[in-house]
């Protein structure tokens, strides 16, 4: 493809393609093609001008020479691009906002054109007939509301238009209906665009799945799956595609799809859906729809229908909006009785507070969700921002949360006859089925040493917060915590091994492997504190968090060392999942607002018990599903970013209240005083409503808040 450089600064390039414009599909395909390049952080394709803006990942390159090489690769890829050779999955076109924007632009232009023709060309008689016909809808909606015993905005609109028509003020009635219709279009477009942007950022993203082929279980890229393939989904994982259960028995959490609070039982012949979570058991699923094409619509439905995720402030705004309607109507009647001037009374009727309240509050929350997503923070509802802003206590899990998400196997201490490689092979074979940072460390160590660990065991069982159990031949193999190995499983040390066991290095976390009730090995896991952990703890205290607690299943010695280095005063060691949840429930009973931050399946009870559960993005799928908020694994400072956005949202909601009351109160006063006409009042009212809505779409944090490693705003 031919193009020329239009503008360039370090990290950002704008190119102009050798085309007058692109179709919507061409722009979507090109954007999809370019966003898959690892060097690029974001891509924006403008179909009208055929321009492309390429933003590079600043954290991807070590130095200037690497950046220049990456730049050359990207431009070379763009040069090689051919519309006849490239395509994109269906969900890319389905979730694109290009058609939506074009559709509403056309509607707005058409509305303006019709109004211009009506007022400048159309004969008066025909104009009156059309106006009368158009008024029927508004009057009918008002009567419906009254018949249902409700005093809502349609009642005000119907009375205003009906009164103008009866008085013969057809131009006033026509102007009011035009402004109402134009405002409705703008509001509808603004909301749909906000929902679409948010849904695209939250779309299902599963990279690998377990494919069953020729009686073998293979880890493959999710993009390679086609309808008819069969995949296995293990406990704690997200179901990646819609399909039918071929084998297995499990409990599936479908709350994200159906709103059901309790998990549902799924067995052979049942249908399962992409994005739901397998809580217990495992399933073999025959795929019906690949690539999650229907997930976008499901997320859109979730966002539009999830009243339960609205913040208290949003709900108050909506209730207040409806409660104000009777007062507006009463004000209109009182104004008429006092002044005997229908024009002044209509001026009050033209101004209602509900439009601005109902538009500005949801947009403020959607904007906060979008901005959080830019910082790689996924927030599942407005009420969680409010809870974060009010929080005074933060509880951290240790492993993979305060410590690095990529721990490393430092050494293996054998307590039997097996060698290093054989121990690592068995451990990796078991651990690869369950997503946890320590499990990934074991699998990664085996891969780096070139140790192949084909399936050698029977069905794998995961015992939450304890470990994994299976059989190799007729031998029971277990791997997990000390409590699980010695207390739950009753495993014993070999003869003469007590001194070696007592002298295990205490600076590392320990993962125990036992075969046939005898300890076979201890894997030493180096789980260093994150570099930014201490800074984040200090920043949380500066933002008003009074108590910061760490809870871990590790030994007291390890927990104490980590807490001291992170600056945490209160910690609990060797705790079980129910202990974490119990602690949080007690704190909430005392009146504290608690945030829980974790990454493992064993953290799910605590996440559910807290006011706000925050999961690490690299953690278990079920943890991310249950959590209210998900933050990127690489940067704990995103936690303080989340708090800043939450506080910003609360300030904006307060500011919006003041603006709406001030502007609309002034309009009522000017109308009653005879300074402005009802049509002018309606125009300014709609204009101010949209202005407040547009202002609510601004980001909450300044651009300089964006740290290295985060997306460019």
Instruction: Give residue 72's pLDDT band: very low, low, confident or very high (50, 70, 90).
Output: very high
pLDDT of residue 412: 94
pLDDT tens-digit readout, 353-410: 666 666 677 778 878 887 887 787 888 777 889 899 999 999 998 877 888 756 789 9
pLDDT band at 592 (very low <50, low <70, confident <90, very high): very high
State which of 83-92, 277-286, 459-468 shows the largest mean pLDDT. Answer: 277-286
Question: What is the tens place of the pLDDT at every residue in 669-706?
Answer: 887 777 777 667 767 776 777 677 677 777 777 654 54
The count of other CB atoms within 10 Å of the CB of residue 434 is 20
Cβ neighbours of 41 (radius 10 Å): 18
Query: At residue 469, what are phi and psi to the nearest 5 degrees?
Result: -130, 145
pLDDT at 596: 94
Name which of 242-246, 456-460, 595-599 the model is least confident about: 456-460
pLDDT of residue 707: 38
d(CA 691, CA 695): 6
Instruction: Determine the pLDDT at residue 97.
Output: 75
Position 307 scores a pLDDT of 41
Better-scored residue on pLDDT, 711 or 338:
338
Where on the phi/psi map is residue 538: left (φ > 0), alpha (ψ -120 to 50), or beta? alpha
In the chain, pLDDT over 90 holds for what percent of residues? 20
Residues 6+ apart with CB under 8 A from 240: 204, 206, 209, 222, 225, 231, 233, 274, 292
pTM confidence score: 0.59
Q: What is the pLDDT of residues 141-177, one digit of tens each?
A: 889 988 888 777 788 778 878 887 887 878 778 877 8
Calculate mean pLDDT across residues 211-221: 82
| pLDDT grade for 464, boundaries at 50, 70 and 90 | low
Residue 152 to residues 80, 156, 348, 351: CA-CA distances in angstroms? 58, 7, 15, 13
CA dist., res. 167 & res. 200, Å (int): 50
Distance CA 133, CA 137 (A): 8
**What are the tens digits of pLDDT across the range 299-316?**
455 445 444 445 555 555
β-bridge mates for residue 549, sequence order: 395, 570
Residue with tokens 């690490």, as numbered in its chain: 616
Between the ranges 119-123, 136-140, 146-150, 348-352, where is the mean pLDDT highest? 136-140
**Structure confidence at residue 459 as a pLDDT band (50, 70, 90):** low
Q: Are the C-beta atoms of 506 and 555 separated by less than 8 Å? A: yes
Cβ–Cβ under 8 Å, residues 299 and 199: yes
pLDDT at 321: 59
| Antiparallel, parallel or unpaired: β 271-272 and 518-526 | unpaired
Q: Is pLDDT at 418 greater than 80 in this prediction?
A: yes
pLDDT, tens digit, 9 for 90 and up, residues 493-508: 988 899 999 888 877 8
What domains can you pick out in the chain, each with its CATH number?
3-88 (3.30.70.100), 102-200+308-364+648-695 (no CATH), 208-291 (2.70.150.10), 377-403+530-634 (3.40.50.1000), 408-526 (3.40.1110.10)
Q: Above 70 in pLDDT, residue 517?
A: yes
Q: What is the DSSP string of 281-338?
A: EEEEEEEEE-TTTTHHHHHHHHHHH-GGGS-HHHHHHHHHHHHHHHHHHHHHHHHHHH
Contact 274, 240 (CB under 8 A): yes
Least confident of 41-55, 410-424, 614-628: 614-628
Q: Which residue has the tokens 């370019």?
A: 34
Instruction: Tell me the C-alpha distance between 584 and 579, whole Å.
Output: 9
pLDDT (tens digit, 9 = 90+) per residue, 188-214? 776 666 556 555 555 555 667 888 888
The predicted pLDDT at position 194 comes to 57
Q: What is the pLDDT of residue 183?
A: 66
326 vs 457 pLDDT, higher one? 326
Q: How far apart are CA 125 and CA 357, in angstroms?
A: 38
DSSP conformation class of 380: -
């Amino acid at each position: 493809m031919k193009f020329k450089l239009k503008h360039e600064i370090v990290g950002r390039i704008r190119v102009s393609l050798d085309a007058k414009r692109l179709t919507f599909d061409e722009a979507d395909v090109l954007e999809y093609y370019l966003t898959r390049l690892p060097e690029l952080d974001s891509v924006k394709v403008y179909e009208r001008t055929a321009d492309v803006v390429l933003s590079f990942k600043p954290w991807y390159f070590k130095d200037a020479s690497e950046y220049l090489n990456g730049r050359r690769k990207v431009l070379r890829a763009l040069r090689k691009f051919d519309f006849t050779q490239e395509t994109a999955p269906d969900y890319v076109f389905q979730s694109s906002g290009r058609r939506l924007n074009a559709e509403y632009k056309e509607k707005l232009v058409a509305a303006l054109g019709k109004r211009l023709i009506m007022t400048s060309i159309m004969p008066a008689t025909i104009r009156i007939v059309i106006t009368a016909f158009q008024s029927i809808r508004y009057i009918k909606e008002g009567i419906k509301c009254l018949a249902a015993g409700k005093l809502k905005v349609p009642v005000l609109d119907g009375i205003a238009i009906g009164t103008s028509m009866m008085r013969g003020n057809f131009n006033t009635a026509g102007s009011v209906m035009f402004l109402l219709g134009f405002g409705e279009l703008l509001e509808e477009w603004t909301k749909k665009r906000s929902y679409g942007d948010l849904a695209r950022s939250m779309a299902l993203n599963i990279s690998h799945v377990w494919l069953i082929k020729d009686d073998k279980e293979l880890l493959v890229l999710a993009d390679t799956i086609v309808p008819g393939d069969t995949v296995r989904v293990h406990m704690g994982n997200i179901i990646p595609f819609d399909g039918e259960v071929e084998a297995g028995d499990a409990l599936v959490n479908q709350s994200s799809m159906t709103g059901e609070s309790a998990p549902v039982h799924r067995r052979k012949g049942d249908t399962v859906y992409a994005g739901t979570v397998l809580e217990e058991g495992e399933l073999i699923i025959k795929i019906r729809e690949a690539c999650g094409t229907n997930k976008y619509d499901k997320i859109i439905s979730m966002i539009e229908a999830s009243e339960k995720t609205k913040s208290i402030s949003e709900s108050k705004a909506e209730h207040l909006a409806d409660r104000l309607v009777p007062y507006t109507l009463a004000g209109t009647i009182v104004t008429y009785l006092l002044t005997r001037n229908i024009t002044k009374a209509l001026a009050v009727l033209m101004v209602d507070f509900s439009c601005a309240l109902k538009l500005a509050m949801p947009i403020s929350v959607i904007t906060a969700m979008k901005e959080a997503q830019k910082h790689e923070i996924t927030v599942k509802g407005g009420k969680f921002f409010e809870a974060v802003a009010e929080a005074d206590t933060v509880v951290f899990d240790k492993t993979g949360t305060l410590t690095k998400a990529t721990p490393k196997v430092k050494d293996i201490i054998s307590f039997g006859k097996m060698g290093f490689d054989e121990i690592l092979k068995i451990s990796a074979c078991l651990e690869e089925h369950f997503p946890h940072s320590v499990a990934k460390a074991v699998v990664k160590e085996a891969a780096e040493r070139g140790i192949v660990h084909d399936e050698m065991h029977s069905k794998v069982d995961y015992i939450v917060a304890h470990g994994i159990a299976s059989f190799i031949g007729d031998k029971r193999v277990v791997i997990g915590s000390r409590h699980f190995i010695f207390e739950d499983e009753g495993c014993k040390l070999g003869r003469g091994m007590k001194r070696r066991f007592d002298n295990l290095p205490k600076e590392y976390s320990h993962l125990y492997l036992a075969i046939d009730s005898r300890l076979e090995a201890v894997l030493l896991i180096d789980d260093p504190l994150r570099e930014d952990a201490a800074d984040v703890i200090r920043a949380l205290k500066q933002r008003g968090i009074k108590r910061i607690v760490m809870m871990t299943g590790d030994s007291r010695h390890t927990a104490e060392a980590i807490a001291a280095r992170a600056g945490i005063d209160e910690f609990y060691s060797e705790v079980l999942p129910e202990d974490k949840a119990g602690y949080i429930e007690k704190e909430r009973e005392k009146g504290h607002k608690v945030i829980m931050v974790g990454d493992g399946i064993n953290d799910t009870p605590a996440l559910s018990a807290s006011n706000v559960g925050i999961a690490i993005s690299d953690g278990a799928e079920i943890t991310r599903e249950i959590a209210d908020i998900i933050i990127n694994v690489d940067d704990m400072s995103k936690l303080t970013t989340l708090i800043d956005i939450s506080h910003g949202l609360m300030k904006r909601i307060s500011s919006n209240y003041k603006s709406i009351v001030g502007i609309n109160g002034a309009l009522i006063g000017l109308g009653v005083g005879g300074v402005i006409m009802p049509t002018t009042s309606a125009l300014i009212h709609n204009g101010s409503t949209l202005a407040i809505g547009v202002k609510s779409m601004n980001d909450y944090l300044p651009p300089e808040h964006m740290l290295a490693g985060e997306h460019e705003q």
